[in-house]
Amino acid sequence: MQLKTVCARCGHVLREGDEADGPVSHGLCLHCLPDVHDVHVEHWEHLPQEVFDSLPYGVIRLDEGGNVIAYNLAQSGLSRREPARTLGRNFFLDVAPCTNVHELVGWFEEAKRIGHAPLKTVRFLFAFPHGMQYVRLSLAFNGYDRTTTIVVDVIQEEEDDE
């Protein structure tokens, strides 16, 4: 099986190949870690929570079953949800049912089936509990640990015509 990890925000290839050992990437390239470029961590689990929370965009991590295993402060601010209330819950079914569409869930299922997938980026009208908001959703599948990382960037009004 061809394994691959790409940056969850820009799609830059971080690691590919079938070797079982080797560095495990945390799934964001250094370009996409603007505020923490001096922090070199190899895996999400090594990323201090304060660094995770300092990222200027929302990050949600899912296990293979689609359940939330990490939820950063920016995303908590966007959704106005306490991270503790999302952990362990199914992202597509319980946390963000507006994302339970074939374009996203189909990508997720296919990524798990073949072990890798290109970065999936969609402009999406996200139904937050407090209202609708255009966001750019980027989904990256990490073939090495079979987690999925979702980055949520709010699209400002002036970008609406892009």
- Give the residues lining the site for Zn ion (CB under 5 A): 7, 9-10, 12, 29, 31-32
Give min distance, CB of 151 to Zn ion, in A: 9
Buried b or exposed e, range 53-84, using 16+ CB within 10 angstroms: bbbebbbbbbbeebbbbbbbbbbbebbebebe
Q: Which residues contact residue 65 at a Cβ distance below 8 angstroms, ignoring those fewer than 6 apart?
A: 90
Give min distance, CB of 140 to Zn ion, in A: 9
Nearer to Zn ion, 34 or 65 (CB): 34
Give min distance, CB of 89 to Zn ion, in A: 27
Nearest partner of 138 among 117, 159, 158, 113, judged by Cα? 117
Give min distance, CB of 9 to Zn ion, in A: 5
Nearer to Zn ion, 29 or 105 (CB): 29
Total residues belonging to the chain: 162
Nearer to Zn ion, 105 or 154 (CB): 154
Kindly state the helix (H) or strand (E) to which residue 71 belongs, with its residue range: strand 68-71
Nearer to Zn ion, 32 or 69 (CB): 32
The DSSP call for residue 7 is: -
Give min distance, CB of 102 to Zn ion, in A: 26
Nearer to Zn ion, 31 or 46 (CB): 31
Separation of alpha carbons 97 and 106, rounded Å: 14
Nearest partner of 151 among 28, 25, 49, 22, judged by Cα? 28
